[in-house]
């Protein structure tokens, strides 16, 4: 379900707080169905906080977030999840007291049309062999695959991924890149937080640059090469 502008997700003047600390200062962005959009920005820019606000985990937030035709600014995280939004959190959020299989099967099915377990094992063959291991005994890369795999089952069509490549070896980063491209082919809509903009450029349609809790620029992926200098400036690399 998209709104008049054709967007699955439209964020207007999003403000967010951790207790008294005001972190998001009026974010504006939109994501069309089937798009892969990244949030780029320096450490502490507010990327994770934006993801938490979209998912409804950041309790104190104002402004407007319209997702799949519903205003979600006042909804609880579990209600937003039920609309078909899923999170692959920073630090992966694998449960130590659950086996790999239990971690994989934990998120309840939200809608029909999720990716079946067999197809998940095709995407991530490592997981099949480790099903009975304790979740946190997996390598960092395997944990990241598990964090992605478990939300693919649910039938959610929008996935928020917070730095899925952080700290991973190049081959694993490539595997995650291929997975994201496969998901895009299958029509998933993805918001991706990335530090590594080479990786971002290989998978995304558009990029938002975030600084101090605001979107300060928007760059189409095709324009990225031409804007490299500017981007280096934004990211301080």
Ligand X SMILES: Nc1ncnc2c1ncn2[C@@H]1O[C@H](COP(=O)(O)OP(=O)(O)OP(=O)(O)O)[C@@H](O)[C@H]1O
Q: Which residues lie below 8 Å from residue 47, measured CB to CB, with a gap of 6+?
A: 39, 40, 41, 162, 193, 210
Q: Which stretch binds Mg ion (CB under 5 A): 86-94, 113-121, 136-144, 182-190?
A: 86-94
Residue 3 contacts residue 33 (beta carbons within 8 Å):
no
How far CA 30 is from CA of 2, 66, 109, in Å, comes to 11, 9, 26
CB of 41 to ligand X, least distance (A): 5
Tell me, letter by letter, the H, E, C secondary structure of 14-51.
Answer: EEEEECCEEEEEEEEEEEECCCEEEEECCCCCCHHHHH
Which residue from 32, 74, 69 is spatially nearest to 53, judged by alpha carbons?
74
Q: How many residues bind Mg ion (CB under 5 A)?
A: 2
Determine the interface stretch with another protein among 6-14, 97-105, 117-125, 192-200 (rule: CB under 8 A). Answer: 97-105
The partner residues of 209 in beta bridges, in order of sequence, read 40, 217
Size of the site for another protein (CB under 8 A): 25
Residue 76 near another protein by CB under 8 A: yes
Q: How far apart are CA 116 and CA 37, in angstroms?
A: 25
Note the residues at the interface with ligand X (CB under 6 A): 18, 21, 23, 41, 43-49
Task: Compute the least distance from the CB of residue 54 to ligand X, in Å.
Answer: 12
* Length of the chain, in residues: 237
Minimum gap (Å) between residue 15 Cβ and Mg ion: 18
CB of 188 to another protein, least distance (A): 17
Among 7, 38, 48, 189, binds Mg ion (CB under 5 A): 48
Between 90 and 217, CB nearer to another protein = 90
**Among the listed residues 204, 193, 183, the one whose alpha carbon sits nearest the alpha carbon of residue 235:** 193
Site string for another protein, 29-68 (x = CB under 8 A): --------------------------xxx-----------
Binding track over 145-164 against another protein, x by CB under 8 A: ------x--x----------
The residues of the shown chain that bind another protein, judged by CB under 8 A, are 55-57, 76-78, 80-82, 86-87, 89, 93, 95-98, 102, 105-108, 110, 151, 154
């Amino acid at each position: 379900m998209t709104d008049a502008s054709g967007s699955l997700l439209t964020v207007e003047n999003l403000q967010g707080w951790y207790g008294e600390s005001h972190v998001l200062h009026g974010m504006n962005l939109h994501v069309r169905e089937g798009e892969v959009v990244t949030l780029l920005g320096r450490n502490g820019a507010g990327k994770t906080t934006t993801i938490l606000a979209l998912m409804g985990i950041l309790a104190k937030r104002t402004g407007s977030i319209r997702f799949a035709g519903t205003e979600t600014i006042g909804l609880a995280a579990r209600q937003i999840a039920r609309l078909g939004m899923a999170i692959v959190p920073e630090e992966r959020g694998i449960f130590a007291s659950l086996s790999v299989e239990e971690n994989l099967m934990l998120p309840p099915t939200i809608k029909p049309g999720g990716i079946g377990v067999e197809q998940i094992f095709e995407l991530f063959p490592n997981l099949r062999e480790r099903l009975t291991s304790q979740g946190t005994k997996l390598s960092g890369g395997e944990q990241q695959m598990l964090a992605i795999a478990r939300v693919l089952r649910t039938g959610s069509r929008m996935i928020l991924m917070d730095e899925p490549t952080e700290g991973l070896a190049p081959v694993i980063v490539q595997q995650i890149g291929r997975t994201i491209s496969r998901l895009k082919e299958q029509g998933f809509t993805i918001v991706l937080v990335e530090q590594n903009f080479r990786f971002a450029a290989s998978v995304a349609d558009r990029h938002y640059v975030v600084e101090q809790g605001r979107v300060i620029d928007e760059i189409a992926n095709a324009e990225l090469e031409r804007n490299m200098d500017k981007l280096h400036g934004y990211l301080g690399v």
